[in-house]
Structures are given as structure tokens and as C-alpha cells.
Amino acid sequence: MTTLSITLDDAAANRVQTVARKNHTTVERLFVSFVSTLGGQDANESRDTNDEAAARLVRTFQTLSRPLGGKGYVTRDELYER
């Protein structure tokens, strides 16, 4: 992976940060997505990669999760019953 430093004026930096926040992402990911589209890659490819990573994470949780024991509460009242 290559590290790249860029210089932006304050107004441009603020705009980029605002767009990143609105898209629930980081400035770095926003920039990578932008550069990827310039290189001819479809933006959906990175989304697919993220979806695959999320699916792998869910499978890992399902595989590694173990019951912790204790009583399985059915209702809120049962949970707080003394």
C-alpha cells in the first residue's frame, strides 16, 4: 500500500470532511473510491468487497459464538423479576 499526502486549502478540506460524514465514511475511503473510479474500476466493486467482508464477519460470529449459560429470559418482566 502506498501512502500519499495531499495539500488542500481549508475550504476544500472542510467540504471533503462534510461529504465524508454525510456518507458515513472517512476522507481516506472517499478519496480511494474517487481514485478507483478514475482508474476505470466500478464503484460497486469496492461495495461488493465491503459486502463480502461483512458476510465473512457475520459467518465468523456465527461460527465462534457460544452460549454463555444462564437463564433465557422471555419477557422484560422476567428479566427484572426479583
Is position 31 within any domain? yes
CB environment 20-30: b (16+ within 10 A), e (fewer): beeeeeeeeeb
- What does the pLDDT average to over 59-80? 72
Is position 4 within any domain? no
Is position 5 within any domain? no
- Whether 43 and 36 have beta carbons less than 8 Å apart is answered as yes
**Would you call 2 helix, strand, or coil by DSSP?**
coil
Is position 50 within any domain? yes
- Whether 50 and 60 have beta carbons less than 8 Å apart is answered as no
Q: What is the mean pLDDT of the chain?
A: 77
Residue 52 belongs to domain spanning: 10-79
Is position 14 within any domain? yes
Structural domains of the chain, count = 1
**pLDDT tier at 72 (50, 70, 90 boundaries)?**
low
Residue 42 has pLDDT above 70, yes or no: no
CA dihedral 10, 12, 15, 20 (to 10 degrees): -100
Is position 48 within any domain? yes
Is position 47 within any domain? yes
CA 49 – CA 53 distance, rounded (Å)? 6
Kindly report which listed range (4-18, 20-34, 44-58, 64-78) carries the lowest average pLDDT score. Answer: 64-78
**pLDDT tier at 1 (50, 70, 90 boundaries)?**
confident
